[in-house]
Amino acid sequence: AQTVTQSQPEMSVQEAETVTLSCTYDTSENNYYLFWYKQPPSRQMILVIRQEAYKQQNATENRFSVNFQKAAKSFSLKISDSQLGDTAMYFCAFMRARDDKIIFGKGTRLHILP
């Protein structure tokens, strides 16, 4: 069975700083996808970034980037130049390629402080 672990329940950083959110996963699959979703106070689930396991290059979306270490089964999210609007719950998620069921971690609550 697949599992996703986010070891940081809550984090706080100052605005404009860089923050890294950790995520590890466990799977015997070779072909899968990893995601970071953001859930702001509005409760909407917003896709932040996606990584295909077969790609060695780390995904980047503007201020958001990942450090994907396949052998270590690690998938951390780096937020650069953090903004107040980044305050949210962040979920790491895993999806194996042969079905579309997403497994979510418990989430990391991130506070960006002014």
Binding site for other proteins (CB under 8 A): 33, 35, 37, 42-47, 50, 91, 95, 97, 99-107
| Torsion, Cα of 32, 86, 79, 10 (10° steps) | -80
CB of 17 to other proteins, least distance (A): 27
* 16 Cβ contact partners less than 8 Å away, ≥ 6 residues apart: 81, 82, 83
CB of 44 to other proteins, least distance (A): 5
Which residue, 40 or 81, has its beta carbon nearer to other proteins? 40
How far is residue 16 CA from its own chain's centroid?
A: 19
CB of 7 to other proteins, least distance (A): 15
Which residue, 9 or 114, has its beta carbon nearer to other proteins? 9
How far is residue 69 CA from its own chain's centroid?
A: 13
What is the phi/psi pair of residue 80, to 5°?
A: -95, 150
Which residue, 13 or 24, has its beta carbon nearer to other proteins? 24
